[in-house]
Structure 1
Amino acid sequence: MADIFDAYALADAWDEMFERPGEVRTAYEPVLAALQPIEPAELRFRADQMARAFTDRGVTYAFAGEERPWPLDLVPRILDALEWDLIQRGVAQRVRALEAYLADAYGPCRAFEDGVVPWRLLLNSPHFHRAAHGVEPPGGCASGTSPGSRTPSRRPPRTTRSA
């Protein structure tokens, strides 16, 4: 049985699994060990099965009027502790900033009064609800958040500031 990665050529871009040809990143060693015994045809079959299961269960999105299964890679993305810490701190920082903005927009409006943010952005926003002005959300939390992303080079964004 041939190793499915024998003919794998690294692109001139970030690769999640390989540092360089034939050199797997430490965090991906268990993933590589699990994938190596699987034939490429079997991986394609499993990916097709997953797509069918998603479609059958309505885990889809619409694009150009066509329902498509939600894309999910069979190979998990592994985040090491350093990456996870960076993401966690970045998300926490952004949530604090968003919460401060919402508290101001629905409270004293200092950023608007001081001209930092134009009033028209707030007052013309379909997401601003005037009736909620002055209302403090339970627990003080008015927002939700989503996972971070990667840069076009697929590297996690780097920052020199702490959260």
Structure 2
Amino acid sequence: MACSSIVWAGSLTGTWSGTVSNGRETERVVLRFSSNDNFINNYGELTHVGQVQRSAPPGGGVITNKVLLLNKSRNGLQVVQEVSFEKTSNGYLHQDYARVGHDIKLTPQGLQVQISARNSSYTSDVGSAAGGGNGMVVATGVLRKSR
């Protein structure tokens, strides 16, 4: 009998950890998934496109997370989030933006992930603004189920 690599629903459930690398730097990553195979970020479970999550971090400001893409398949998940942070201090408005994508596939070796991020940062007052984009970073790796 031939072996099958069919992945059944619920196989992403739990916590996965490991490292990803962009070729220059390596970073430890932990990804979590609900019992429905939904991606869980720092603010909660992502369930649908257009979902908005907001939080007020210690030290002030507002973080807004919006789900732009959420595509589930039998063996993986694609998620794109737009994250912004805004804070005022001493008459200046500081804004950070990031578009973060996760391309996640379950393989016999583990959870294959590609994380891409494009960041930009701005500081402004009434008459001027400074800042700009910091480019795209793409990191890949294979995670193992830890819980």
The structure in which a higher percent of residues are strand is 2
> Shorter chain as normaliser: what TM range?
under 0.3
- What's the TM-score, normalizing by structure 2? 0.22
